[in-house]
Amino acid sequence: MNLIFLGPPGAGKGTQAKRLIDRLRIPQLSTGDVLRKAVADGTPLGVKAKPLMSSGQLVPDEIVNGIVDEALDQPTYQKGFLLDGFPRTVPQAQALDAALQKRGRKIEHVLLLEVPIELLVARLSGRQTCPKCQTSYGKDNPPKKSGLCDNDGESLSVRPDDQPESVRRRMMEYETKTALLTGYYKARGVVRPIDGVGSVDDVEKRIVRALDPDGEHER
C-alpha cells in the first residue's frame, strides 16, 4: 500500500505514521526526519537545509524530490510506503507522480489529518522530540520517564523550528503551498479526511477505519 500523510505542522502525521508502520507493516518515509538527520550529521545537505528548517521555510523542491526518488529504489520501500511530510508543493506532487509512474506504482490513499490551528499551536509548543528515532511526545502522550525517549532512552529535546516565530512561518508555508495538494489529490478520489482531534488512540482508530472499512487491520 502506498500512502501519503497530509496535514499542517503539528497535526500528528509523524505520531500516527510511527504507529501505522507496525500495524500495516509498511515503512515510513519522512523527509523531515531525513533532513533532521542530515543536519545532525553535518552533511552538505544538512548544512544547506539547517537555516531554512530552523526558520520554518521549505527546503527547495529539487533537494527533497531527489531524496524521495532515491529512496523509492531501496528494497525497504518496494512493498509500499507511508510518506510523511512529502509532497508539500504541487511541483513535488508532480515529481512524485512521475517517479511512481516510471516504476509502475501509484498513490492509493492520501490521509488528510484535520486539526484546528489553535490546537496545532498548543501541540507544537508542548512538543519534545527524540533526536535519535524522531518520536514526538506531548502533554497528552508523555514519555514513561520524564525527558527520556521510551524507545531508546535518549534525552528529548525541543525542535528549533518549534519556536513561535518558526511555527508561524511553517503555518504560512502550509497554507500557501501545501494546502493546494488537497485539491490536487481530491480530483483522483484518493483523499481520506481524518478528524485529528482526540486522543492519539482515537485518531489511529479513525485512520484504520478509513483505510480498511472491513476491519482487516483491527487488533
**Interaction site with ligand AP5 (CB under 6 A):** 7, 9-15, 31-32, 35, 52-53, 56-59, 64, 85-86, 88, 92, 123, 127, 136-138, 140-141, 161, 170, 198-200, 203
Q: How far is the CB of 189 from ligand AP5 (least distance, A)?
A: 23
- Active site annotation includes 127: yes
Which residue has the CB atom at the shortest distance from ligand AP5? 32
Active-site residue, from 88, 123, 192, 206: 88
> Is residue 103 annotated as a catalytic residue, yes or no?
no
Which of 104-109's residues contact partners 24+ apart within 8 Å by CB, and which partners?
A: 105/2, 105/72, 106/2, 107/2, 107/3, 107/4, 107/185, 107/188, 107/190, 108/1, 108/2, 108/3, 108/190, 109/1, 109/3, 109/4, 109/190, 109/192, 109/210, 109/211
Toward ligand AP5, which CB reaches closer, 26 or 95?
A: 95
Residue 36 known to be catalytic = no
Residue 156: other Cβ atoms inside 10 A? 19
To the query of whether residue 13 is one of the catalytic residues in this protein, the response is: yes
Q: Which sequence positions are flagged as catalytic?
A: 13, 88, 127, 159, 170
